[in-house]
Structure 1
Amino acid sequence: MPMASLFPRLPSEPPLDLSSRRRLLESMASRGSSEVAALVIPGFLVWAMSRYGSVASMLAWWAGFALFTLVLIDRRRRFRADLAARGDAAADRWEPVFQRLAVLNGLCWTMPVFLTLRVPSYEFKLLLYLVIAAVIASAATFLAPLPGVFFRFFAACFGPLVVAVVWMFPTRWPFILPLTLLYGVVICRHAGGTRRFVWQQFALERERAELAERYRGARDRAEHALAEKDRFLSTASHDLRQPVHAMGMLVEAALARNQDEGLAPVLQDVRRAARSLTGMFDALLDLSRIEAGTSAASRVAVPVRELFDDAATVFGGDAAARGLVVRRHLPRRHEAAVAGDPTLVRQVVFNLLQNALRYTQRGGVLLGVRSRADQWRIEVWDTGSGVAAEDRGRIYSPFFRGPEARSRVTTGHGLGLAVVARSAELMSAGYGFSSEPGRGSCFWIELPKTEAVPPPAATGVYGRVRSLAGRCLLVEDDPQVGPAWLGLLATWGATARLARDRAQALQCLDAGFDPDVILCDQRLAGGDSGFDVLKTLLARCPRAHGAMVSGELDTPELTEAEDEGYLVFRKPVEPDVLHAVLSRWLPTAPSPGDSGPGA
């Protein structure tokens, strides 16, 4: 039987790489049992031979075997030293050396077979064959992963056993020879199984290494994508806030100048829509930061009435266009306010309302709040299709959509309720639903009660008279925001000048404009840092007040400005907040009744 057929290679088995071969050679070289066996077992055979005749030749064999063992120990020591110096590259140099040593080692073990051919004792000869067979079995276990080493040892050790059977057992060799050959086949099969097992271990290690590398790559890509998303949100927030900021100022200026009482409700609706849009930008960014773990969910008072008003403003138009009604139910005796993160609470209510409208074809949706012990339960009722019994356990799973959503064209991707569940968990809030298929559903979230924060006192911003005087220098490069600033400040009675960058701002000062207040955007044309520009201008105007205005949320420059005590306005700036600050920094108008235009 060919040796290759006894020791087959798996069809998909790749050759061992250099690192794997180095590890196998290192494992073989670290074994001390073979050296111990080479010193002890020959001594035992010499003692057994002494019972049947002269042991001079066996003693010489033992001495030679011991000398070879010392050489083998020295070669292994040198291999380990070379391995420490060259690493995996040492495998190519030392594997042929160990192959030659394996041949010599096998011949050393079978030498007693030829030295004891004339010994008349069958018992000793059987003992000798059994000892060599045990040595071959032991070698098959730890040499098999290196076929070049194992086959040379096996051929040098087993071959002489087979050849000498006829002379060792002249009358019994027809029985012993087949058993010896069968034993050789079994050893080769065992060595093949050992080798396959070791190959599988290396294959698993390579697979684990590849999985770990893919995981690191996926993690790096995810972190890069997250960083890109944050940069995109920051940039998009800045760019989107600019027109919203300008729209808010223009609406406030229009409200202050409006003479048509019939137009006032329309302007008020536009103002609420602009503020709702601002809240959506803030919620998007805040939720992104909370999900990324860069900030924790806060717990402040959130007025339910304002929350429902915003939700009705955002979704009321779409509901009315589809013939649906959005109703609100609030306590009559108490002003409901919940303790939670404003962004997350808003996200929950908006998603629940949007989900209810998506699955409601006729009737309407009710936003309600009811008291339950020390909790307020915010509920969203609908007259839609309801939730089937088999879908109740999956309703909050990401990307899950009910049968009705799958059977007809609807917007959304099945993430709304998953966001509701995640937001509620971030606030440690209870949530759930009840539903009756064909009649509608009620989704709810429970949050702790808290005292409602009273609304800020009116500042007189929306009157038609001018309430401020003084001079303001605006450093703003956006073509929409700049004129809106000028229009609002003119409505309030302040004299304002607009500069796009550091150079224009310094030109205004050189022309004799002495501002009482300097408001500076952070991101300016030409790459100027708004904070550096503000400090330069305040150094020229030491009596002036200064503040930063930016559509960005978290930048090193804004953080530095706040740390140094500067006021930072975040776009879109609430006009009443801006007016309150300017009323402390600017002198009041000498004549409240004067309604002439500002500069």
Structure 2
Amino acid sequence: MTGAVPAPPLPDDIDARILREQVDSMMRTSWSGAIAAFVVGLGFWSISWAQTGDRGALLWAALLHSCQLWRYLGCRRYLRTPAAARDAHAAGNWYARALLLNASIWGLAPWLFFPEDSPLVTALMMLVLLGMTTGSIASLAPHRRALLSFPIPVMLGLSSAMLWQGGALELFMGVSALVYLYVNLDFGLQQHRLLTEALRSRYEKEALARQLEEQIEIARRASAERIRFFASASHDLRQPLHSLGLFGTALERRLAGHPAHALAGNLMQCVNALELSFNEMLEVSRLDAGVIVARREPVSVAALCRALDASFGPQAEARGLMLRFRPGAHWISADPALMERLLGNLVHNALKFTANGGVLLAARKRGEQVLIEVWDTGSGIPAAELPRIFDEFYQVGNPERDRARGLGMGLAIVRRLADLMGLQVDVRSRPGRGTLFRLQALACAPAAAQPRVEARPAGHDTGHPGLCVMVIDDEPQVRASTAAVLEQAGMLAVTADGAQQAHAVLQTQADRAQPVDILVCDFRLRGEEDGLALIASLRAAAGRPLPALLITGDTAPDRVQRARASGLPVLYKPVPAEALLGALNAVFSEGDR
């Protein structure tokens, strides 16, 4: 599922990049120094030739300017070469040799141009040569060999010429030139080391950043592959489970009053447990896909507690546990359905891990926040386990994966729901004493009173017997089980395995004067067929907006988003028979209006 971890870059690679940067920098900064050297050299030989008429000055000038032209052409050729084709090692060595030759020519200047009877001109020449040496240190510091190639010949030529003259002043100036050379070289080598280490640190950080990006990409691909794997596995497992649930319901109803009815009831209990597990995984997928949108409105904490008491009170009573609520008169800004689901998961989790005592849900106000706390007297959570309790499939103290204790998805859903609504969830626990989950929600003013409307349980009244329902699914068991449930409810069920057969059935039913009233279509059909496109084509063929219900076992985030964006009612496999009949009733009733 994951690619091989790339090896870190070899030192040689970094060294090569450092050398390239050093040579490039030296080549780019050589222009200003070359111009200054040309002007100074021109002044040297012009003044000397004008004063003495010595043709040796012209020979020195020819050597100097030829060397400068050679350096200019070489630098220009290097800088015009594409970066990928540059040979930094060869270019650096060439430039060092060119500098050595150029410096040797400058080292001859004190021997050729020093006047014997003009200390002022001698001092001026020394100042010029010392200035050139100092200036070269800054421009040549990136490249060690070049750094040594220029100052040493120049200063040795100057110092030797001064010492050769033998006077006290000349001896002092010659020794001073050597000291000056040492100080400048020491400074230049320190600069070279600092620049090199700075480049090395930079390239090592870049290499680490690239490795981090590669690791992030590997993790991203692994996560995407994991999602695709679980979505595919979930789809393949949901298909037979969906059929099993529908067949089981049909069998349980048919065996009503028969001695074997208890067996059918046990079968349905197992099916319901499996459906609960799959629905938890589906909810995580839907939250990850971003298809669940939280809406904010004033929510009464007391109303939430009444709903939770109705859901979990009997369970707590059956286990001899106390389930208490102290909601106060607080109102919070949240999504009521998502908030009930979040708190329900916390209460369910607390009851599951509490053997004695009970669970308390209490609310209190702190500033602009309402703190909703779920306390239990259960087994508690070790401190080392706390960072992982919101991970998927993680359960404290259940290494054997006892299915009776759930899948470990409840708190993962809590974290996602809290993030979706922008709420903060904290947890504190003491092993053997119990656990506290604290939720921070924004307080708000109470909502205006609304008239109460009694809701009818979905699925208990289809209200439309005799409907002709086309069931489209590429799985024969799904078609058969769905048809069995529909026929038990008094409907006419016709089936198709894909687009071609669906169009044929649509035409056949129209010819029989018993047209299809509603479509029940799987999202992903055989091959490249798509349930959304098929529904659109069947509506076009029928010449009317046929009511349609989309059923899918896909939990991949992109498919969940597509299903939600279609605007069609969507059910996620496995679908209980009552939920299917209730959805059909709602869809057809909406179509009638």
- After TM superposition, the score normalised by the length of structure 2 is 0.71
Say which of 491, 496, 500 aligns to 2:497.
Answer: 500
* Cα deviation digits, residues 247-268 of structure 1 (max 9, x gap): 5544654675564599699799
Cα–Cα, structure 1 residues 98 and 417, in superposed 2: closer, same or farther, change >3 Å?
same
User: Deviation of residue 413 (structure 1)?
Assistant: 13
1-side partners of 2:137 and 2:356: how far apart? Answer: 81
1-side partners of 2:63 and 2:166: how far apart? Answer: 31
Q: Does 1:350 align with 2:341?
A: no
User: Deviation of residue 162 (structure 1)?
Assistant: 4.1
2-side partners of 1:259 and 1:416: how far apart? Answer: 35
Matched AA of 1:350:
N
Match of 2:551 in 1: 549
User: Deviation of residue 305 (structure 1)?
Assistant: 5.2
User: Deviation of residue 191 (structure 1)?
Assistant: 2.6
Cα–Cα, structure 1 residues 410 and 169, in superposed 2: closer, same or farther, change >3 Å?
farther
Match of 1:381 in 2: 375
- After TM superposition, the score normalised by the length of structure 1 is 0.70
Match of 1:577 in 2: 582
1-side partners of 2:236 and 2:549: how far apart? Answer: 20
1-side partners of 2:488 and 2:508: how far apart? Answer: 24
User: Deviation of residue 138 (structure 1)?
Assistant: 2.5
Q: Is the 8 A contact 1:256 1:461 kept in 2?
A: no
Match of 1:56 in 2: 52
2-side partners of 1:106 and 1:455: how far apart? Answer: 101
Q: Is the 8 A contact 2:159 2:175 kept in 1?
A: no
Cα–Cα, structure 1 residues 125 and 86, in superposed 2: closer, same or farther, change >3 Å?
same
Match of 2:143 in 1: 146
* Cα deviation digits, residues 136-175 of structure 1 (max 9, x gap): 2321232132234333323431332343343133457776
* Cα deviation digits, residues 63-115 of structure 1 (max 9, x gap): 97699569847954774476245335355575566445423432453344113
Cα–Cα, structure 1 residues 437 and 472, in superposed 2: closer, same or farther, change >3 Å?
closer
* Cα deviation digits, residues 278-328 of structure 1 (max 9, x gap): 5413321133235xxx87644477955555666789xx69x99xxx75553
1-side partners of 2:400 and 2:345: how far apart? Answer: 17
1-side partners of 2:234 and 2:202: how far apart? Answer: 46
User: Deviation of residue 511 (structure 1)?
Assistant: 6.3
2-side partners of 1:333 and 1:96: how far apart? Answer: 84
Match of 2:228 in 1: 231
User: Deviation of residue 492 (structure 1)?
Assistant: 0.7
1-side partners of 2:376 and 2:179: how far apart? Answer: 81
Structure 1 residue matching 2:29: 3-state secondary structure: helix
1-side partners of 2:271 and 2:307: how far apart? Answer: 14
Aligned pairs (5 A) from 1:189-588:
189-250=186-247, 253=250, 259-260=256-257, 273=273, 276-277=276-277, 279-290=279-290, 297-299=294-296, 303=304, 327-330=322-325, 339-340=334-335, 342=337, 346-347=341-342, 349-350=344-345, 353-354=348-349, 357-358=352-353, 362-366=355-359, 368-370=361-363, 378-384=372-378, 397=387, 423-429=417-423, 431-432=425-426, 439-447=433-441, 456-458=455-457, 461=460, 468-505=465-502, 508=505, 514=514, 515-539=516-540, 541-542=542-543, 545-552=547-554, 567-573=569-575, 574-581=579-586, 584=589
Q: Is the 8 A contact 1:381 1:440 kept in 2?
A: yes
Matched AA of 2:156:
G
Larger deviation, residues 238-247 vs 34-43: 34-43
Q: Is the 8 A contact 2:373 2:439 kept in 1?
A: yes
1-side partners of 2:518 and 2:415: how far apart? Answer: 47
Unmatched runs of 5 consecutive residues or more in structure 1 = 1-9, 588-599
2-side partners of 1:308 and 1:121: how far apart? Answer: 110
Unmatched runs of 5 consecutive residues or more in structure 2 = 1-10
Q: How many residues align?
A: 553
Q: Is the 8 A contact 1:546 1:567 kept in 2?
A: yes
Q: Does 1:28 align with 2:29?
A: yes
User: Deviation of residue 445 (structure 1)?
Assistant: 1.9
* Cα deviation digits, residues 28-79 of structure 1 (max 9, x gap): 234x2552365369859999x99xxx94369985997699569847954774
Matched AA of 1:346:
R
Cα–Cα, structure 1 residues 90 and 425, in superposed 2: closer, same or farther, change >3 Å?
closer
User: Deviation of residue 124 (structure 1)?
Assistant: 5.3
1-side partners of 2:147 and 2:53: how far apart? Answer: 28
2-side partners of 1:487 and 1:408: how far apart? Answer: 40
Matched AA of 2:460:
V
Structure 1 residue matching 2:474: 3-state secondary structure: coil
* Cα deviation digits, residues 343-383 of structure 1 (max 9, x gap): 5763565357537755x5x4144153557599876432222
The percentage of counterpart residues that share the same residue type is 22
Structure 2 residue matching 1:525: 3-state secondary structure: coil
2-side partners of 1:66 and 1:308: how far apart? Answer: 104
1-side partners of 2:479 and 2:142: how far apart? Answer: 78
Structure 1 residue matching 2:470: 3-state secondary structure: strand
Structure 1 residue matching 2:82: 3-state secondary structure: helix
User: Deviation of residue 456 (structure 1)?
Assistant: 3.0
2-side partners of 1:532 and 1:413: how far apart? Answer: 36
Cα–Cα, structure 1 residues 259 and 518, in superposed 2: closer, same or farther, change >3 Å?
same
User: What do you get for the CA RMSD once the two structures are aligned?
Assistant: 5.5
Cα–Cα, structure 1 residues 149 and 557, in superposed 2: closer, same or farther, change >3 Å?
closer
2-side partners of 1:558 and 1:520: how far apart? Answer: 15
Cα–Cα, structure 1 residues 37 and 123, in superposed 2: closer, same or farther, change >3 Å?
same
Q: Compare relative contact order (CA 8 Å, sep 6+) and give the higher one, 1 or 2.
A: 2
Larger deviation, residues 514-523 vs 440-449: 440-449
User: Deviation of residue 520 (structure 1)?
Assistant: 1.9
2-side partners of 1:305 and 1:569: how far apart? Answer: 28
Q: Does 1:158 align with 2:174?
A: no
